[in-house]
């Protein structure tokens, strides 16, 4: 003969079920703590500008075309990589990091390192100019994941460093006697 469950046992099981449901409810409420609400309020992954994305350390991939020129730009931290075709030249790549611009041609396996000027009012190219140009295309940028190695200049390219050339004064011709 089977023993019937006592009313006390049924009551204990019912109380346990209610406790488990209550604990689950409280735990789900704790997931929406102010910290989680702050992340939602900050709109992580949303950016107002390229500089804003760089400040938030977002990784962006921007794909766009200007006329026949096609560009893919990658932004991560304070580094930018730009790949594309410009003026009919294919497979051109540039990396902006540490106030220098590495630019190279993958077919010729040669490139140059150009120091960027700190003062945007001085003559030359600044990182602000490059970011400003990318800013005009920000609607084509999406948050993406890619490796840091994308921002390392390749070792098989022969780079000419123009740092010392651009920093030295231009020699003036001596007056004729």
Q: DSSP for 121-157, please give it.
A: TSSS-BHHHHHHHHHTTGGGEEE----GGGGSPPTTS
- First-to-last alpha carbon distance for the chain, in angstroms, is 130
The CATH topology of domain 50-167 is outer membrane lipoprotein receptor (LolB), chain A (2.50.20)
pTM above 0.85, yes or no: no
Strand partners, 114: 101
DSSP class of 54 = H
% of the chain exceeding 70 in pLDDT: 60
Residue 72 contacts residue 63 (beta carbons within 8 Å): yes
**Is the pLDDT reported for residue 38 higher than 60?**
no
pLDDT at 26: 47
Q: How far apart are alpha carbons 26 and 5 in whole angstroms?
A: 31
DSSP class of 49 = S
Q: How far apart are alpha carbons 158 and 176 in whole angstroms?
A: 41
* pLDDT, averaged across the chain: 75
Biggest alpha carbon–alpha carbon distance for the chain: 130
CA nearest neighbour of 156 among 113, 110, 97: 110
Residue 58 contacts residue 49 (beta carbons within 8 Å): no
15 or 73, which is more confident: 73
DSSP class of 15 = H
pLDDT at 36: 37
% of the chain exceeding 90 in pLDDT: 27
User: Could you read off the pLDDT of 64-91 as tens digits, one per residue?
Assistant: 988 888 889 999 988 999 998 876 666 7
Indicate the pLDDT class of residue 160, thresholds 50, 70 and 90.
Answer: very high
């Amino acid at each position: 003969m089977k023993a019937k469950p006592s009313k006390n046992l049924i009551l204990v099981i019912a109380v346990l079920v209610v406790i488990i449901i209550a604990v689950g409810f409280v735990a789900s409420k704790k997931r929406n703590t102010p910290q989680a609400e702050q992340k939602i309020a900050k709109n992580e992954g949303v950016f107002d500008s390229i500089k804003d994305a760089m400040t938030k350390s977002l990784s962006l991939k921007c794909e766009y075309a200007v006329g026949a020129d096609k560009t893919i730009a990658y932004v991560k931290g304070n580094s930018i990589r730009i790949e594309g075709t410009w003026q009919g030249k294919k497979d051109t790549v540039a990396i902006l990091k540490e106030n220098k611009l590495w630019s190279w041609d993958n077919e010729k396996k040669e490139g140059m390192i150009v120091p960027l000027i700190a003062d945007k009012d001085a003559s030359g190219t600044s990182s602000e100019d490059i970011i400003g140009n990318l800013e005009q295309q920000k609607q084509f940028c999406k948050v993406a994941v890619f490796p840091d190695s994308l921002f390392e200049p390749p070792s098989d390219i022969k780079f000419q460093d123009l740092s010392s050339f651009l920093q030295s004064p231009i020699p003036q011709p001596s007056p004729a006697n």
